[in-house]
Structure 1
Amino acid sequence: SQHRVAGGEVTKLLGVRVATDDLQAAMRAYIALLGVVPIEQTRTSAHFVIGDQWIALQASAQPEDAIAQQLRTHGAGSYAIVLGGAAPGTPPRQLAATLAHGAEIWLE
């Protein structure tokens, strides 16, 4: 289920997930932009760390997965924001997407 948070519960931005239809091209662009290489890379993702925050580039693994749907609906670009501030031991939860113009916002 989707949630709203009480005032003050969100304390920081942890990271941003970026949907891409060309992971290799996106990685080259982010390496040039950020001046760092991914700390982790798979066939469908690359994870960059900048200070205390991260950027995850994510390509579709299957034709009907969430990334593929995002790319069809909105094209390449930011598709999820991950915020910090949940109480320790609280599982990550998705906030109300209807209030975020279609972007996923997660509280961890």
Structure 2
Amino acid sequence: MAAPAPLIDPTDPLRRFSECAELGYPSAFTLRRRRKDGSLPAVWCGNHWKCRLSDVERLYPRQDSADDADLDELRAWARRQAATAPPIPSPAAARMVVEILRRGTSRAS
């Protein structure tokens, strides 16, 4: 495992754990666990732990763009399904969106 770069780097600013999670990385709780076990360098800044996004990327690399074709195929399938589905009342649709977003941000993939 490569050693992490120094924490002072203007091209890779420090980010709160919650900001990293919002960008699709594991949850802030998981990042705190990685800080505690020493695998994620972080600093206490104000009233938040902060780390470099490049260090999070090192622990949890993004999937390569070869999966974009699969994603496009999945989107096309979802559009076809939505076109043939019966209408959903607004409150139910809102609950579905919230549930999908919750599941999407909590996965550590």
Asked whether the two chains share a fold, i.e. TM above 0.5, the reply is: no
Q: TM-score by structure 2 length?
A: 0.25
Q: TM-score by structure 1 length?
A: 0.25
Higher Cα Rg, which structure = 2
Q: Which structure carries more helix by proportion?
A: 2
